[in-house]
Amino acid sequence: MSREDFNDVYRHSLAHILAKAVIEIFGKENVQYAIGPQIDDGLYYDFLLPRTVTQEDFPLIEEKMHEIIKRREEWIYREVSKEDALKLFNDQKFKIELIQDLPEDERITIYYTGDDFVDLCRGPHIENSQELLGAAFQIKSASGSYWRGDENRDQLQRIYVYAFPDKQQLKDHLKLIAEAQERDHKKLGPQLDLFMFDETAPGMPYWLPHGWRLYNTLLDFSRELQDAHGYNEICAPIFNNRKLYLISGHWAHYQNNMFVVPELDRDENGQILLDENGSFKMKPVEEADIYSAKPMNCPNAMIVFKSKTRSYRDLPLRLSENQVLHRKEKSGQLNGLLRVQEFRQDDDHTFVMESQIEDEIADIFEITDTIYSTLGLSYRAELSTRPEDFMGDIETWNTAEAALKKILDAKYGEGGYEINEGDGAFYGPKIDLQMKDALGREWQCGTIQLDFQLPLNFELKYTAPDGSLKQPVVIHRALYGSFERFIAVIIENFKGAFPFWLAPTQVAVVPIKTEHNDYAEEITKLLRANKIRYEVDYDDKNMNAKIKEFKNMKVPYIIVVGGQEAENRTVSINVRGSNQQMRGVPLDEFLDMCDILNEEHRLELITERISE
C-alpha cells in the first residue's frame, strides 16, 4: 500500500473501526458518535459517552479494533435519500444534524462495516477489513472537544489514534513524539525560568528575567539588521477607536478576534450607571466611543504615513514597530506560546512605488536569510492567494498575486514553491515562510504581504516625479512573526540549549569556596563590562551542587575559580554538552573568545577556538 493510499483511505477506514470498537464496548444505546477524520499522523473520532475514557481503556479499545479487523468484514457503499438517511440514523443526534444541514439535492453516501455498523461518510474506504491487517496503530490520547467547535454545544470526548502502514513506521513516529515531548516549550519554559502563565491573564505570558533577556536579544538582533537596511522604528497607541478599524476593514473582518472596550454609560456627574440587574450600563452603540486593543499594527502605520506630505523621494519608507498586540482566542485554542492572546511582532510596513516592489522584497529576503542562517534554521516560501472574504477588486488582486509569483519564480524557479490557494489576508496575497526545526517539523512564522487595499482605504498619496499624486503600495512584513511563537519554536529546536550569543545566561561563575568570591566578583565586573550575560553563585555550598544547577539551566559555559585560578588569573571551563573541564585558560583569552562569539553570532563551541 502506498503512503498516499494509507493516509487517504486506510486511516479514514480505521476511524470507522475505532467507532465500531467504542460502540461494541459501551453499547450502541450508550454511544452518540459524531465525526472521525484522518489527520497527519493518524485519526480521531468524537463521541458522547456515558463516562470518561481513561488511559486504562486504551488497551481494551485497541484490542477490540484488532478483533474487528480480523473478522475480515465487507465494507458496503450505499447512496441513500435524505429521508432514508434520517431514518437510518434516527437515534444518532449528531448524524441527524449533519444530514439536516445538507442541501435537498445533496448526494448522501453511507458505508457499512459488516452488518451492524454504519456511518455517514463520503469515503473512499477499503473493501474489506482484512486490508488493515498489516496496519500499525496505537491510541495517543483522549481529550475534550465541543460539537462543531462551539463551547455552548455538547462536550464530547475525542479519541486520537496514531496509525502507520507498518510497525517500524509507528515505532519511528513514537520515538519522534517522545523527543518532541522532551523539547516541549511548555515544559522547558518554566524549567528554565523563561516564562509563566497565570489564570488572571489567560493566554498572556509573564516573561521572567531569563526569558526577557532572550526576548530582548532577539529584538536587538532584529533592530540591528533593520537599522542596517534603512528601517525607521515607530511606536503607536495600543488602544484605538473603532473608527480606525472601520476604515481599515478590520472591524468587518476581524471584530470577533478583538478585545473591545465598550463605553460605559454615566450620569452628568460622571458616575457609572447600573441597569436593573445591578450590572454596568453600556452606552448605546450609535452614541458610544468604542475602543479596541489593537490586534495588528498596520492601521496605525497608515496613519503615520498620512500624517505629512510624502514624496517619491521618501520611498521606500520603512516603518517598523514592535508594539504589544492582543487577539481574542477561544480558551481551547490557547497553546503555550504558540497561540496566545498577547504578543509582539517584528512588524514593518514599507510604503513603495509599484516599480520598487521587486527590489524591496528581494531586500526583505536578504534579511530573512540572515536571521534564519544565523540561527541555523532553514525555511521555504509558500504563496497564499485571494481568500473568499477578500476586500477590493479582483483585478488589483490579480496584479498583486502576479507580482509575488514573479518574485518567487526569480528566487526559487517556476514551481519551486507551494501555492496555498485562498489563504491570503483579506487585504492582499502573502508569502508565508515555513521554518523547519531540528525534528523536521514545519512552523509558519514569518510573512511578507503585498497590499494595494489599505492605502486605498486610507486615501494615501505621494507626489510623483511629474507632480501628480499617486497611491503607494504597502508591503507588510514580519520575519520572526510573533516573538512568542518564534521563541516557542526555537526553545524546542534547540531543546533549551541556545547558542552562546542568544543564551539568556551565557556564562555562570562558580567560586569553589567563599574565599574565592573576590576573584569571582572581579570576573563578573569584567563580564558586565564586556556585555556578557552572566550569573554567579557566591553561596557557601558544595561546588558540584552549584555546577549541577547551572547545567540544568543549560548555561553554555560554567567557569570554576579557586585559589590556583585566582593566583594565575585563569579560569577552568565546563563546556555545555561535555564532561571534560578545560583548566588554566587565561581570563583575558576567555573574555576575547566570548566577545568574538557575541559579535559574530556564530554557533561554534568555545572548545574549537581554544584548540586552534
Could you give phi then psi for residue 274, rounded to 5 degrees? -115, 150
Task: Calculate Rg over the CA atoms of the chain.
Answer: 30
- 121 assigned to active site: no
Cis peptide bond upstream of 465, omega within 30: no
Under a CB-based contact definition with an 8 Å cutoff, are residues 338 and 359 in contact? no
- In degrees to the nearest 10, what's the CA dihedral of 9, 10, 11, 14? 120
Pairwise CA distance, residues 455 & 444, whole Å: 26
| CA proximity to 241, closest of 233, 251, 231, 232 | 251
C-alpha distances out from residue 130 to 10, 13, 22, 74, Å: 11, 11, 19, 9
Q: Is 437 exposed, middle or buried (0-12, 13-18, 19+ CB in 10 A)?
A: middle
Under a CB-based contact definition with an 8 Å cutoff, are residues 446 and 481 in contact? yes
Residue among 140, 183, 210, 430 flagged as catalytic:
430
- 148 assigned to active site: no
| CA proximity to 218, closest of 448, 557, 446 | 446
Instruction: Render the burial of 585-604: b for 16+ CB within 10 Å, e for the rest.
Output: bebeebbebbeebbeebbee
- 253 assigned to active site: no
- 298 assigned to active site: yes
| CA proximity to 572, closest of 563, 564, 581, 580 | 581
Pairwise CA distance, residues 517 & 114, whole Å: 78
Residue among 11, 213, 326, 349 flagged as catalytic:
349
Q: Is 5 exposed, middle or buried (0-12, 13-18, 19+ CB in 10 A)?
A: middle
Under a CB-based contact definition with an 8 Å cutoff, are residues 82 and 104 in contact? yes
Q: Which three cell numbers stand for residue 388?
A: 473568499
Residue among 345, 449, 453, 506 flagged as catalytic:
345
Residue among 250, 326, 327, 477 flagged as catalytic:
327
Residue among 57, 119, 347, 451 flagged as catalytic:
347
- 430 assigned to active site: yes
| CA proximity to 23, closest of 114, 110, 117 | 117
Under a CB-based contact definition with an 8 Å cutoff, are residues 454 and 474 in contact? yes
- 349 assigned to active site: yes
Report DSSP state, residue 78: E
Q: Is 542 exposed, middle or buried (0-12, 13-18, 19+ CB in 10 A)?
A: exposed
CA 270, 272, 276 angle in degrees (round to 5)?
145
Q: Which three cell numbers stand for residue 565?
A: 585560578
Residue among 310, 476, 477, 516 flagged as catalytic:
476
Residue among 210, 213, 298, 346 flagged as catalytic:
298
Which residues form the catalytic set?
298, 327, 345, 347, 349, 430, 476
